[in-house]
Structure 1
Amino acid sequence: MGPQPKRRRILLALTAAATVAAGTALPAGPAAAAEIPVGRGSYSDTRPPGTSGPVDNAGQPVTPKVTERVADRPVPTNDWWSSLAFKRAADNPYSLPMFGHPLSYRAVAGGLEVGYATEHVVVGGGVQYEFQHKADLTLGVAGLNSPDARADGWSDWTVSPYWAGGGRTLRATIGHGSPYVYAEATGGAAQITAAAAPQVFADDGNALGITVGGKHYALFAPTGSDWTVSGSTLSADLGGKDYYSVAVLPDPGAFETFSRYAFSFVTGSRVDWDYAQDQGRMNATYTLQTEAREGTETGTLQALYPHQWKHTSDQLTAYEYVSPRGTMKVREGSSFTTSQDVTGVLPALPESGGVDQGRLTAFVNEVADTAAVGRADTYWTGKALGRLAQVVPLADQVGATAARDKILGVMKARLEEWFTAGGETEFSYDAVWKTLTGYPASYGSDTELNDHHFHYGYYVMAAAVVAQYDPAWAADSAWGGMVRELIADAANPARDGDRYPFLRGFDVYAGHSWAAGHAGFAAGNNQEASSESVNLSAGLIMFGAATGDTELRDLGVYLLTTESEAVRNYWFDADEDAFPADFQHNTLGMVWSAGGAHATWWTGNPEEIHGINVLPVTGASLHLARDKAAIDRNLAEMERENGGPAVEWRELLWEFQALSNPAAAREAYAAGGGGTYAPEAGESWAHVYHWIHTLAATGAPDPTVTADSPTAAVFATGGTKTYAAHNYGATDQTVTFSDGKTLRVPARSSATETG
């Protein structure tokens, strides 16, 4: 969703648009606001006068739609199921479609709609594909007519909706990758309504196999119960028990296998990551907690997305499902582990002979002479900070220390103003929604809880650059404490915290972040600028390294490594196996739960559609070079659509091209007026010039060579490799690369060698 110039919250020609913020200003609450000190900074416990917190699409305030049992837990907004807890549509107290994959869901008065979309539609004049939610079954309890549905519990990628009405209750547990729905029901018989009269292909009394609309399901009631079929209604007396389950089957022949795990109810889910630094690998284990409701079986079945099964050595079954992300493959067992190479990040590309020192110095001084960060909203302030942050290490490279220090001073001043409550800009904590919002807000960061990871990523990255040169500034007792508050809001790694939810924007199973705080769309949630999400992850790596916080650094490594693989699969279709065959595009501007769109929120301009998942270009963008052929296809499509080379954002697309074909990018820079016009608002000519001409000299990144440092990278041209690393520590470091090369890096410095 990440906002850009002249952005309006309008989805052009797409069917997924559903709700629009009314923008109504609400009373800010009590007149007397307390300032909560954090080091030398502070935030407010009350919104500024005249501003708003979360509202529905009628402009009315909303509170988390959860049961009393979990009322004190921070609600995970910006998740795949957030429309259950965030009542965005004023007339809908249940949910909008929620896409767990392979199943989709929707809460309604009578229970839980369940569907399995195996076919897609291409809509919006060919720019969007959707695997739309359509109910095959509605799971409930006989006589249930609930006035609403609420979240009654959640874990890393599962959630439990809850209904109550007329003396009946229903609690279901659903999740990413789960072919099962686990139901707990009281007050009546289990009742399932099918979209059409089902065909029964297996009947074992309490276990029933049915086909509805070409989809195959298995229904499991407690032992001793029996399913009855009357038209399109299926019911089972639970015999004094309070549970049943339903599974979508890959094919009717899977009935027996799925029956084996019917009563091994999933009660929770958890990811654990381990950065094996010496190997340059990120290992992540995804585990389901289960409880045997009958018998002793505690195993289960779970479907893996492509970004997962492509990186696991765990045994998989032959079962497969269709999904908007491509084929999902099934694992028999309660856990699996993925292992991926880590692509490093750098505070800047290394020094090289390809850069004219005088030209770069002039560009750097130009930035310093005009350095300013206005009092804009959180997004545009962040963009301005990000622009300056990328120039600081370049000033260092050319010895322009006065320019460097001036830019750092401007960055510090604006960060400190934002990090102090009571002024024109501030951060305010909402104790109801457990979130920290910056005011002035923008693009629904207040009313919809959108995009916090996009906005705050720029602040964290800027703070990491300041910390690189002034560690004392970043101490928790100084201004680092407020940086950590922003990190906790957007990417809190603690599951048991009482102030912020676990990894607010990041969906650990989907492998990427979501942008909408409420997910209140017919197509589920969405994310546009995946690169702005990566910007936050890189900021965590760099800020963690600069402050000696290896846990924070490793969190950033996990998030970036995981999202990088999701981006290559689901935004850029690098392996050409994710998008439907009849979808005539090879890149997406935004990913939706139900599919994807070759579009942006604010324009159909090809240059910006192809550029939105590139900006901001930083030392974290190196991961994009893992798929040089995908970059070439992407840019070739852009030129076809555009009728020629880019005009808007052309400098961003040259930088993107430089990750694949640096020589061609340098030629495009020379021919396209590089350095002579105003670049995209988050860019500067100092950075663009340095990026393109450095890569023209060193060659594009070589992701086949890894390192035992997360802030190291290799570049290659012909038979020559350039090794680069930055050492944030206070003592010298030796970095070892996977091809055997070692590089000694002095304390708090960068080093480069060619070999």
Structure 2
Amino acid sequence: MSVRLRAGAVALVAASALVLTACTGTAPETRTGGADRTTGSASPSVDGAAQQRGVAALGAVTKTTAGSMRLADGLVPPTNRWFSGLVYGAAPQPVFPTPISWQVTDDGFAAGLPVVSATEKTIAGGAVQQVGLDLGADRTLVSAYDQVSVTVEHRKGSTVLGHTVLAQGSPLVSYTAERAQTTTATGPVTATGDGPDGTTTGTVAADGRTWGVVTSGDLDGSRIALPRGGTVVLFPVPDDATSQQVRALSAAAASPLQRVTLARSSTGSATDGEQRTALGYRTAARGDTVVVPQPGQGATGLDCTGLHYATITGAAPVCTGDVLRFAAPSLQADDRLDLSDLSSTERERLTAQVRADAGDVSEASFGADSYGGGKDLYRVANLYRLATQLDLDDVATGLRGQLVAQIDQWTDPDGCGVSGTRCFRYDDTVKGLVGQAPSYGSDEFNDHHFHYGYLLSAAAIVADGSDELVAKWRPVLDLVAADIASPEATAVFPELRVYDPYAQHSWASGYSPFADGNNQESSSEAVSAWNGLARWGAVSGSRATEQLGDWLLANEAVSAQRDVLDPDLRAFPGFEHTIVSLNWGGKRDHATWFSADPAAPAGIELIPMPAVATGYVAAGGKRQIARVLAEAVPEGDYAVQFGDYLLMYRALASGAEAKAALAAAEELPAEHIDTGNTRSYLLAWIMSRG
């Protein structure tokens, strides 16, 4: 989640069939072979011309919110990235290409290995300036990027001085001179020997940290004379590294990083398979480099040194190689609760509740903004699904009619000309859809996956089995899906707008105007969004959309388990909580944007509890669920914000806990049932767990 106030390792074999994408704006690379199910093909999978016709039919936003951008001509503006703060706002913000921090200075740049500390509610690893180069620059812009790396261009006036490449999972700061120049390091460089291919190695120390230096230029104290095309590569020396290990890391760091490719594939079925990811770290010499997997991500195929960097997620291994490979267990995208084991008494009780909740649905039940309106559609769609499962044909028919009328408005290209809300317009500057009216900064591209995931989920439920509805809604809903997760960059949308393949989770802030980097709060709404994407792909007949949704769903769920719901916090004894509810590039918080209530941090990581949540939410089992609930509802009183979702979470602990949760859900005051939920769905969810 971004700024908003809201109530409401498994091996990847080298021969796998993979789909790779490289720098934005370039054609995708491909690698074939093996027997894995591949999530795309070498040919373009997106009809860019159809997208252009679609957004032209929607019409343009009245005014973009982007302002001036530090971005090279011809690039699709990168919203929702770990480096978006370099592009938007009055001045470039620090960024956090794990494991380091990096920031623009008045005349060049500075990097640091953050010093990690923990307090009661925060694990901090903010930006630090330990080493850098004075280039004589007076401005920067982003000149290239891909899903994992960014290239920053340094200029003095209109003269391009050089480029710096940074990437998630790389400790390297790779600078290449565009013209002959003399740069000045922030401290004296002590030469330590000769590196590969005529380079010189050295070290520079500042603030208790030693950094390695590898350059093709001439060293003279703190001055480095570079020819055109000359390079300087900086990296933090890990604690306890021997001189031999430093030499080995220097050799691996000698060739500047240029870009990172992304490959994804899957094996097996959605219930017992894997969603695989390979990140290829490409250097100028196309050899091995230094790669730093996240803690718990695995190091398949890498040569790890036994050294580590301290990061806000724990001790990260320092390895060499050229591809980071990891896998996430597949989850079956699902929007249907299993009611087959309900007793006759439970079915009667649920039937009565569905009828009661359906009687409260009217045209006034649906909000006009993309978040509130999306949640309303999702709430009623789940109620409709329950009615169909309980054979309540009269109720289902009435609910379906109201849902179709509402989704018709959202998917009408001329809808904005009718009501001005419940519709989308296209921001041609930022290249994306904006729901009218905006909510929680959605016109600044905040939280699009949260908002649009609800709409896709609802549409998939209602259109399931109806070719007519799919044909009517697909022109706009495919654009909605592409806004948050286009499988490739087009002239209309960026590739995978919000998702970070290295972090394995999404970023929620569009422009990221923060000194702590980008952030995401509601991991659960992100998981729900990808579940909705996969279900819309299945219902609409788009295998590519379904497969992309499956990959995103599995990875976001792994991150939610590892980083949020059941994190390994042993390295941070000062942190006194059981979950981490707000994750940034430079820190992790037990907090929310919208409430200081103790129930809020847990609740925001559970909403909206789709059927697929049972596959990952109970991370840590009964013990962790008990610990989380002891913090969220210390008095055992669920009459709080998100009390409904906390009861659903409680039901995952055991049969006895499900029984107790059901009794409490029956008595929960209506005002404590979230706007994306109904008492019917609350009861059905818990009953299906019993």
TM-score bin, normalised by smaller chain: 0.7 to 0.9
Alignment of 1:224-623 (within 5 A): 225-229=217-221, 234-251=222-239, 252-253=241-242, 254-278=245-269, 279-292=272-285, 298-309=287-298, 312=300, 315-351=303-339, 352-354=341-343, 356-372=346-362, 373-420=365-412, 421=414, 422-424=417-419, 425=421, 426-446=423-443, 448-475=444-471, 478-495=472-489, 497-577=490-570, 580-622=572-614, 623=616
* Cα deviation code 1:347-399 (max 9, x no counterpart): 22212224612211121112322223434211100110111122222111210
TM-superposed CA distance for 1:671, in Å, is 4.0
CA contact (8 A) 1:41 1:416 kept: no
Q: Distance in 2 between matches of 1:42 and 1:238?
A: 48
For residue 651 of structure 1, the aligned residue among 629, 644, 663 is 644
Paired residue for 2:59? 45
CA contact (8 A) 1:208 1:219 kept: yes
Paired residue for 1:743? none
Q: Secondary structure of the equivalent of 2:469? A: coil
The alpha-carbon distance between structure 1 residues 419 and 307, as it changes in their structure 2 partners (threshold 3 A), is farther
TM-superposed CA distance for 1:680, in Å, is 1.2
Question: RMSD across aligned C-alpha pairs, in angstroms?
Answer: 2.5
Q: Secondary structure of the equivalent of 1:474? A: helix
Q: Secondary structure of the equivalent of 1:670? A: helix
CA contact (8 A) 2:374 2:455 kept: yes
Paired residue for 2:27? none
Q: Distance in 2 between matches of 1:516 and 1:5?
A: 13
The alpha-carbon distance between structure 1 residues 643 and 348, as it changes in their structure 2 partners (threshold 3 A), is closer
- Higher alpha-carbon deviation: 173-182 or 251-260: 251-260
- Higher alpha-carbon deviation: 96-105 or 111-120: 111-120
1:455 alignment partner AA: H
1:370 alignment partner AA: D
Q: Secondary structure of the equivalent of 2:481? A: helix
* Cα deviation code 1:716-743 (max 9, x no counterpart): xxxxxxxxxxxxxxxxxxxxxxxxxxxx
For residue 204 of structure 2, the aligned residue among 194, 205, 210 is 210
Q: Distance in 2 between matches of 1:85 and 1:43?
A: 29
The alpha-carbon distance between structure 1 residues 535 and 591, as it changes in their structure 2 partners (threshold 3 A), is same
The alpha-carbon distance between structure 1 residues 548 and 277, as it changes in their structure 2 partners (threshold 3 A), is farther
Paired residue for 1:686? 680
TM-superposed CA distance for 1:330, in Å, is 2.8
Find out whether 1:139 has 2:127 as its counterpart: no
Q: Distance in 2 between matches of 1:5 and 1:228?
A: 53
* Cα deviation code 1:657-700 (max 9, x no counterpart): 1122342133134246536523111110110011111211xxxx
TM-superposed CA distance for 1:576, in Å, is 3.8
* Cα deviation code 1:38-83 (max 9, x no counterpart): 99998533225xxx4215xxxxxx143212xxx2232221010001
Paired residue for 1:102? 99
Using structure 2 for the length normalisation, give the TM-score.
Answer: 0.86
Paired residue for 1:740? none
For residue 162 of structure 2, the aligned residue among 161, 165, 170 is 170
CA contact (8 A) 2:203 2:211 kept: yes
For residue 161 of structure 1, the aligned residue among 152, 161, 186 is 152
Q: Distance in 1 between matches of 2:669 and 2:107?
A: 63
Q: Distance in 1 between matches of 2:418 and 2:268?
A: 43
1:324 alignment partner AA: I
The alpha-carbon distance between structure 1 residues 336 and 129, as it changes in their structure 2 partners (threshold 3 A), is closer
Percent of aligned positions with the same letter in both sequences? 26
CA contact (8 A) 1:531 1:614 kept: yes
1:401 alignment partner AA: D
Alignment of 1:65-144 (within 5 A): 65-67=70-72, 71-87=73-89, 90=90, 92=91, 95-120=92-117, 122=119, 126-141=120-135, 144=136
Aligned length: 627
CA contact (8 A) 2:5 2:593 kept: no
1:387 alignment partner AA: R
CA contact (8 A) 2:180 2:228 kept: no
Q: Secondary structure of the equivalent of 2:588? A: strand
Q: Distance in 2 between matches of 1:309 and 1:633?
A: 27
* Cα deviation code 1:97-151 (max 9, x no counterpart): 10011110111231121010133253xxx3222111110012242xx131x3110
TM-superposed CA distance for 1:187, in Å, is 4.8
CA contact (8 A) 1:40 1:479 kept: no
Q: Distance in 2 between matches of 1:39 and 1:240?
A: 44
TM-superposed CA distance for 1:200, in Å, is 4.1
The structure whose residues are more often helix, as a share, is: 2
1:44 alignment partner AA: L
Using structure 1 for the length normalisation, give the TM-score.
Answer: 0.78
Paired residue for 1:191? 183
CA contact (8 A) 1:115 1:136 kept: yes
- Higher alpha-carbon deviation: 357-366 or 247-256: 247-256
Q: Secondary structure of the equivalent of 1:164? A: strand
